[in-house]
Homo-oligomer: A and B are copies of this chain.
């Protein structure tokens, strides 16, 4: 089977230089991968020429020209209504027409969600799509959804997120019956607001491997395979986490650059500090999945470099291989029949 992925080449903070370099790396790693770069044709060609990839990868590259780009701070409504020839829109259209199996974009998250939802529609039985990402933990990594697509999810929507997330984790990671935790302000039954208590009841009554409430620090302890939450809390937890990590890096750097003596210590400690950084490299966890759509769409971090955009392409490749859309659809229809 050939796996076909469209790349929103112009999307993200860095656009074509990063997306094309990452794409070439992916083509060299996966021999059954075919990529369609969407964006300004001549700019994509110029970038491809710089890298002069081996002829066996060039045969697996296609370019589709798009005249517009969705800006990083553009309103999703404007991007959806006014930019019908944006690289993002055209890349998603290719999923809709079954020309490709998946799309990867580092563009504006709100616009990507709005356009994907409009073009691809949701799976029958799923009311709203959600964004699932991988997060590092003390022992490896875990998964969390929703990371910000929805800001007022009902208990039923949270149950749908858990169902989709469970299937996606099972299929892409090979974890049978992933353990699931519901993000709350305490682990005890009595904790939390009404919405979270109702959601917990729904999860207990489901066939999912639900373990109960987890707290914010459980994300990074790796207590469960999948953390479920509304996108409002999920996004705040994610951004607060990024903020703490940046602040700690800032203070670590400051301590090592305080004077000539600490700078010498920094030189000596360089390999150890590199080892530390690599164990937490956020690029390793790049590539969030827009679950619940009738097609695979993977969102890369906007500021991704080519190494981390490559990781997002790998995620799309894995999801296509695992046929997660078919599996989510059939599981959701089983759940619907039960009602």
Contact = CB atoms under 8 A, between A and B. Distances in A.
Interface of A: 73, 75, 136-138, 148, 151-152, 183, 185, 188, 190-194, 196, 215-221, 229, 231-233, 235-248, 250-252, 254-256, 258, 262, 265-266, 268-269, 271-273, 275-276, 279-280
25 contacts: A75-B190, A137-B247, A138-B247, A138-B250, A151-B192, A151-B193, A183-B236, A185-B231, A192-B232, A215-B236, A216-B241, A216-B242, A217-B243, A221-B243, A221-B246, A221-B247, A237-B237, A240-B240, A241-B243, A247-B280, A255-B273, A256-B272, A262-B271, A265-B271, A268-B268
Contact of A217 (B240, B266, B268): B240
A243 B220 contact: yes
Contacts of A221: 243, 246-247
Nearest to A242: B217
Nearest to A249: B248
Contacts of A242: 216-217
A218 B232 contact: no
Interface of A is mostly: helix
Contacts of A240: 216-217, 219-220, 237-238, 240-241
A139 to B, nearest CB: 10
A256 B231 CA distance: 37
Contact of A194 (B152, B233, B262): B152
Given A193-B151, A269-B268, A280-B248, A239 B255 contact: no
A73 B215 CA distance: 15
A190 B73 CA distance: 12
Nearest to A144: B240
Contacts of A75: 190
A76 to B, nearest CB: 9
Contacts of A238: 216, 240
A152 B194 CA distance: 8
